[in-house]
Structure 1
């Protein structure tokens, strides 16, 4: 069933969009990522303009993350206080990101920036996660016997001022690193249309030292407000939010997130991380291939410049 998307100015199959939303919702529930880092490139692949994909995808992330948070809330695996601190940084970052996005849009460079940002970030994060999680898997197999809980080493995060106690995570650390992590994710949410979970989750585990079981729910909690704010800024300053596209992705995403949360509880944390890293690298490879092997782009630029 083909439907016409007025803002994106393309016709797409409605069932395909529902399916994409559902698939990304499953990932959102499983890994604690908004899923935008996969959905936005998938929208590029089916012909949605990057600027519209970014702004609309931020909207869809709000719903699938909210759905995922409810499931984690029932299990008491959401650190509300940490989520609030991360959100403060996220809102500042989102405002800065939209300013950069608007500036590049006025110069006509925004589509290329979005694609290149994806290739760079997905490549770096995917590689690091893949190497680390394979190591973790190997260690968990080697230590098949009863394992002593690993106490995290004190790192630079513990030496900064303005400390706060985060009871759910069992941490007593400075609020500055969570705010900085939140800001970085906010900028990414605005420029790339992502919840930032693919950076947020590793940062919460390795930089802030949070236990894996509360990371997923807290990450989704932080993503909600930041992406809602980003969507609002894009809608009011850029007019690039396509509501018809958003609604179809939302419906699929909300259903998928509940399923994903159920699947996530049945897999080990190390297995989840390997799977997520593999997915990230797969999408990165496809995007890089499209950037390098796309003669149609070169041809259209040549003809529009009138130098043919």
Structure 2
């Protein structure tokens, strides 16, 4: 089923795009990540220009996040106060990201920068996640239970002024910490089309020291609003959002998020993290290879 994408200026198989959206939705429900960190590279591999892939994936992540937030909110797994602080930081970050995107686009380096960022981010996150998952699995097979990690925020967070109470997360910290984390995620969302969950979730656990039972839901809550703003920014500034591509991705992601939430309740978390780490590292290696070999077509014409 061929479908023409007006902004990307190419025809694609609609069923393949819907399947990519479903994969994103499953990842959203299982891990609390928006899934754009995989959607954008896979779209690039399929032939979609990186600028269009990043802008359209951000809008698609919104749909996956809506479904995921509803699933986690039903069991009280969202810290709305913490989420709103991160949303404020994320909106500020998207503004900075929009300026960077336009600058890199004007000098013709946006595609290269997007690819390099993905290689660095995915390689680092995938490696750390894989190491932790293997250690957990080896400890489980050896019959030695891993000692529970003491939940505490980073010393730098403890030194910040103006502390607030975040009751759902069980924290008494400065809002400047989640505000800064939200801003960093906003910049990444604008530049890379990611939801930012694969950065946000570890930061919430290991830097802020949030309770694990609200991390995924709160992450999706922040991703939801930041990706909405990112889509609006792209529509008004870069003009790179392909609505046809975004709608097809949404069709798969909304249903996939509900399935992912059910999988998360049944599957062993160590194996899920290991599987995600393998996928992330495979995508990073593929993108690194793409940066180093000479393409069959040296020049390409894409809409700006």
Same fold (TM over 0.5): yes
Match of 2:69 in 1: 69
CA distance in 1, matches of 2:46, 2:154: 44
Give the TM-score normalised by structure 1: 0.92
CA distance in 2, matches of 1:132, 1:96: 33
Residues 200 and 27 from structure 1, CA distance in 2 versus in 1: closer, same or farther, beyond 3 angstroms? same
Match of 1:295 in 2: 295
Are 2:134 and 1:123 aligned?
A: no
Residues 99 and 130 from structure 1, CA distance in 2 versus in 1: closer, same or farther, beyond 3 angstroms? same
> What aligned pairs does 1:195-206 form with structure 2 within 5 A after superposition?
195-206=195-206
Are 2:102 and 1:102 aligned?
A: yes
- Deviation at 1:149? 5.5
Residues 170 and 269 from structure 1, CA distance in 2 versus in 1: closer, same or farther, beyond 3 angstroms? farther
1:104 is paired with a residue whose SS is helix
Give the TM-score normalised by structure 2: 0.93
Contact 2:62 2:223 (C-alpha < 8 Å) held by counterparts: yes
- Deviation at 1:151? 3.2
Contact 1:212 1:269 (C-alpha < 8 Å) held by counterparts: no
Contact 1:84 1:222 (C-alpha < 8 Å) held by counterparts: yes
Residues 140 and 91 from structure 1, CA distance in 2 versus in 1: closer, same or farther, beyond 3 angstroms? farther
- Deviation at 1:185? 0.4
Match of 1:155 in 2: 154
- Deviation at 1:293? 2.1
- Deviation at 1:148? 7.5
Residues 33 and 109 from structure 1, CA distance in 2 versus in 1: closer, same or farther, beyond 3 angstroms? same
Residues 65 and 154 from structure 1, CA distance in 2 versus in 1: closer, same or farther, beyond 3 angstroms? closer
CA distance in 2, matches of 1:99, 1:164: 32
Q: Which runs of no fewer than 5 residues in structure 1 stay unpaired?
A: 302-308
CA distance in 2, matches of 1:272, 1:211: 20
CA distance in 1, matches of 2:100, 2:186: 12
Residues 232 and 153 from structure 1, CA distance in 2 versus in 1: closer, same or farther, beyond 3 angstroms? closer
CA distance in 1, matches of 2:20, 2:87: 27
Contact 1:81 1:166 (C-alpha < 8 Å) held by counterparts: yes
Are 2:55 and 1:55 aligned?
A: yes
- Deviation at 1:153? 4.4
Contact 1:87 1:182 (C-alpha < 8 Å) held by counterparts: yes
CA distance in 1, matches of 2:132, 2:186: 25
Q: Which runs of no fewer than 5 residues in structure 2 stay unpaired?
A: none
Match of 2:173 in 1: 173
CA distance in 2, matches of 1:284, 1:70: 31
Are 2:205 and 1:222 aligned?
A: no
Structural RMSD (CA) = 1.8
Contact 2:3 2:14 (C-alpha < 8 Å) held by counterparts: yes
Match of 1:286 in 2: 286
- Deviation at 1:278? 1.9
Residues 137 and 161 from structure 1, CA distance in 2 versus in 1: closer, same or farther, beyond 3 angstroms? farther
Contact 2:153 2:209 (C-alpha < 8 Å) held by counterparts: no
- Deviation at 1:128? 1.7
How many residue pairs were aligned? 299
- Deviation at 1:177? 1.4
